[in-house]
Structure 1
């Protein structure tokens, strides 16, 4: 592509409110200014025919007048960016020009920038923080490829001095050329800055900073973990050959030891996130199913193949129990049931006339609930008086009087807490829904059973309802502390499975609202009543239909 220079250097002309791409005929509406750079500006852009939102990079032709290097830089950026296809590179959707400006239509990253720069295939991009952008879904993407270039033979490119001074590698400062190892150095600068709040090498005076870069002389952040300090030292090795590869970086103890969230919460853009360490939902169901599978019994053990038909989730507890005792195949979960030679045998548990002696054990459970998920969400009240709502959009909000706060979970595993005074306006509607559910349950609904309370059982800010499952016979609730609760509609009995102690504890609330708790091991040894066995079988049946 060749750019014709029509204007001399001067003040930036305002960009028209509506722009037409002569190549495609599309009409765009220019939105608000997103940011400015040394040679251009970036605006929010909307395609009038589809309402799709983009980012528009505008480079005034006047800035390019007489500067052949800048013209080549824009041409190179368009050429390279249009060829890149990577989920962590800002998408390139086209370009066009008029007599005033050159326009690049790019993917819109609503959370602006986070920071660095990297290599993609055979392209070198100098790392720095302002080139990292964050999408609405908290995905990090690299953009602004004005200084990107193709890597030459041997993985090296030109020996010019370009890029942000704070992030230049020793070989770049010494004009020995860039390589992928220079990216590793820049990654070390970014890691240092992200963990400390300031770069390892200060920008002035410039000669002193360059010497510190050559010597890898920087303040050692003693407050960081040993793994973090060790990785930074490896990334900022003065000799490029001593720096780790990207694969080695990903295998470093800093990334592999301890808890690493699957995704950063959106609040990370402005506040430190609070993490709980969730167990994947499918594993919780699998774990619960396996325990119940060990509990379910035949009067005579039999082999069951896991390749049967899908069961009807609308059977009564007695019908489900009879089907478990009788012929038929049951679908397995995970490694418990597979087609072929591997067969599933249910362990035998004696069926007694009554349950073994139990005790009243304090358990945190849902005493009230209301399902308005077709419009608002699913609300519940816990035995300690806390209330929560799993909203239609998948977020969770809870009122915890014992902690004096509102807790909000935009995604599973992320929790933000607010006092009543600090609740943001963006949550006003959800707080109103929570208050509506709370007033309704406290005024109109009865407690679901009699269980002893204990102050130490108050849920923490990370406690939430993960999922609920309904049939016409029962309701199943799964909470973030791995408690599983099953409410049976027809006689108001309930099962609670809790992993808080050394051994899984099963609590049964009977028709008289009396609660008795049994370790699962005791039921396996001593058996259980027919009523409890039927409910265990139906719970297993419900889990298998999930």
Structure 2
């Protein structure tokens, strides 16, 4: 049985070490070969001696936050007891008790303690009773962690033999061993959740969108303030960063053209098709890629080279427009950034829109770029090879600085991080009207 070990570990942190974990969830519970439990990820841990003022910010994984944390009353031993109740529910039912399809709904459910036990699978009465006592909204009435091990559910000598339908003992439903890669293969819409189920660790995957709605899901998370800048020193920009380096707008007739930092020329046509072109390199012929309809879910890609014969007259006309755009931008516009690292896979422009002096662009491989048209500042959101979400800030006379984005609130002490967060907040404020246009809701991480 894993729960007694989790309780022992948390009790040790509180009573012996004097710290709060502040991000208790199944994804931060590790199992050794002998089924010994170990807690992981102490990035949000806080000394009990620093309470209460240093713990008034909202941080942690949304599905496991207590009502008082959401009310900014601070983390405490009682809030960790709430998280243990959520973990036990998730272990037995297969999903967190307050999971919803949007972050807002999750918070409303937590605030009102709106959860229930399913009729199927049916868990034992003593387990329901323990969960109910841990998920009491009033922290003063909530069961203490020190009392959990004496509850009938855990004091039952035969508890290890109880067969809960979706417990971690059930073969094929072991939530501690689920692969986050498997979940994220469904794309942003199916796996990258603002209301993270907490089943796996954060920021270790490289998920790519498969449709425009997948791109919009991440974009909407950014607008809702679900990500904050990490309070760490910036890293030097990766020179392989692929971003829009220059652009031209002819949407009144043809479409929107741009050149990426790897030299790829992209055109998003007014008929919702997108064509990318890469000049011939060494022995390779000139390459093209087309998404016939960016609203199609999932996208359908067609690739060809100049060695192929194009018989479709409409496509031939589009290729001609792409070439005109390319020639104009190459001759008349200066690039923001270029690099010589050529990706094997062609990228494509799948979205562009101007709103309140801000230009927003999406690339098919997952990059989101926000340009401030007046100040010429740029924000580029992308993922590294480990799937971590990064924010690259481009300013005149400053150059490139890259920061990690975290899916929870973090306390910023570095002045540069505070300024970057302010710039991100400014973009979200200017793009406030965009939220209503993004119809797709978030999907919670599947268990």
TM-score by length of 1: 0.36
TM-score by length of 2: 0.43
Which protein has the larger Cα radius of gyration, Structure 1 or Structure 2? 1
Tell me: higher relative CO, structure 1 or 2? Use CA pairs within 8 A at least 6 residues apart. Answer: 2
